[in-house]
Amino acid sequence: RRALEDAFESGADTQNAVNEIVTPYTLTSYAKDALKNYVPQLRRTYNASELEDDHPVRFTNRGFRIDHSGERAYEFCWRVPQAGRGNAFWIPLRINPEQESLWFD
């Protein structure tokens, strides 16, 4: 959240500029990549001039995977990679019924 706010408030409008701001943060490469993609879009695509206090943090789907199967008790599961181990574990997710249609997209 702090990295998002700092990158946005700096006026960074390129991936390289955002990268220089978020590099010192202890974040996964996935989170940094998400910020590098998203922060420039906030101004260029969405014409944002400020962030609301509850502005959501957006992630890329690189390294983050949700799997769906109607054959399981928990239809949606999150694949969590274990860095340096070459394997992953799965966490079952309970989906908010009001948002379930969004998950199929």
Please state, rounded to an integer, the average pLDDT across all residues of the chain: 83
The pLDDT score that the predictor gives to residue 63 is 61
8 A C-beta contact, residue 74 and residue 100: no
Per-residue pLDDT of the chain (105 residues; tens, 9 = 90+): 899 999 999 999 999 999 999 999 988 777 888 899 889 988 888 888 888 877 776 666 666 678 888 898 888 888 777 666 667 788 898 888 888 888 776
Q: DSSP per residue over 67-102, as a string?
A: EE-TTSSS-EEEEEEETTTTEEEEEEEPPPGGGHHH
Q: Please give the angle made by the CA atoms of 52, 30 and 56, to the nearest 5 degrees.
A: 15
The pLDDT score that the predictor gives to residue 79 is 79
The pLDDT score that the predictor gives to residue 89 is 81
The pLDDT score that the predictor gives to residue 70 is 86
- Distance between alpha carbon 74 and the CA centroid of its chain, in Å? 22
8 A C-beta contact, residue 103 and residue 76: yes
Q: What is the pLDDT of residues 88-99, one digit of tens each?
A: 788 898 888 888
Domain boundaries, the chain: 1-46, 65-102
